[in-house]
Amino acid sequence: MKKKSRFLQTPVEPFVVDSGLTADEILSRMERISFQGRNLATAHRIWLRMLEDEVTIFLGMAGALSAGGLRLIVAHFIEQRYVDCLVSTGANLYHDLHETLGQRHYLGSPHADDAALAEEGIDRVYDTYASEDEFIANDNWIADFAASLPPRPYTTREFLYLLGGHLWTTTGRNGILTAAYRASVPIFCPAIADSSIGMGLSQARQKVSGAGMADTIGDIVESANLVIRRPRTASIVLGGGTPKNFINQASVQAEFYSPEVTGHRYAVQIVTDVPHFGGASGSSLEEAQSWGKLSATSARVTVQADATIVLPVLASALAVTAPPLLARRQKPIFTLTSPIMTIDGQPVPNDRFEEVNESAV
């Protein structure tokens, strides 16, 4: 009798429909189906492994996820410390601020008459609408706050902490910015100029000379020093974009100054882009290894799917499976109240890199 191939060991298990399955039970069954369903189940397992290990977990957030209704999932991840540091596009933070100020996004249609929307001052994000007048008010609100600060350069991490504090004091409402402020979780926004927050900062400079100065190079130094301080890291990326590369380049930049840094130990990405067009958003995690962004032994998975479909399922499953791990987790402790943040009591400079010599390791 011919010996069974080593490749034919674990059979696919057809998904059996049962009433009352919880999200974690659904994902457990999906571990034995195929394609992106199995990848999503693997993402759940890898995230749990991150929480069991002593790693600093970065979350990257791109796309229109806040406008699309996912902002309170991200706020939950921050508040409960599923993640330790957020890197976001400015748009996601702006749309979060919009709703935290008590305004809304509205269900719309991708087939709308956009000329008619423009006539009524309605902005469209695919199938979601928002008021242009409310956005203008947001820009002025940001500008007034930025103009009230001493006119000097601010890293985006420092500015967004101050903005989150002002937003919390003003509204007392939950959101990404306010959750990060209350949990002392740093937020970086490397492309802040490419957003309505950047527009608000530019309007602040119109009000007060020298206001609205964002030190994005300081962000690079600070994020790399964060990795140097805690070289064991993990990356979770929603939607690719600038946040994905910023998280990865923090590891690469840190390795330039510290031999302890060898790339992220864990990586999960949920993206709709594909690798064969060469863009960073769709690039594979295997490609990231060639740059030293991921450890050669990293646990990793790519889920090529719309985050608005998979993130509610993943978050609901984690809400069941993660709490015991969160209770035991030795998470990094940040202080963010000054221009120089600290992690576990150690300063994280934003002006010069912390060099670690080979002989000191």
Residues assigned a catalytic role: 293
Cα separation, 26 vs 15, in Å, equals: 9
Q: Are 216 and 192 in contact (CB under 8 A)?
A: yes
Asked if 27 and 44 touch (Cβ cutoff 8 Å), the reply is yes
Give the three-class secondary structure for 86: strand
- The full length of the chain comes to 361
- Burial label for 35, CB within 10 Å (0-12, 13-18, 19+), is exposed
For 139, the token pair is 């820009």
Q: How far is CA 324 from the centre of its chain?
A: 23
Q: Are 58 and 263 in contact (CB under 8 A)?
A: no
DSSP 38-103: HHHHHHHHHHHHHHHS--EEEEEE-SSTTTTT-HHHHHHHHHTTS-SEEEE-HHHHHHHHHHHTT-
User: Are the CB atoms for 103 and 131 separated by under 8 Å?
Assistant: yes
Amino acid at 138: N
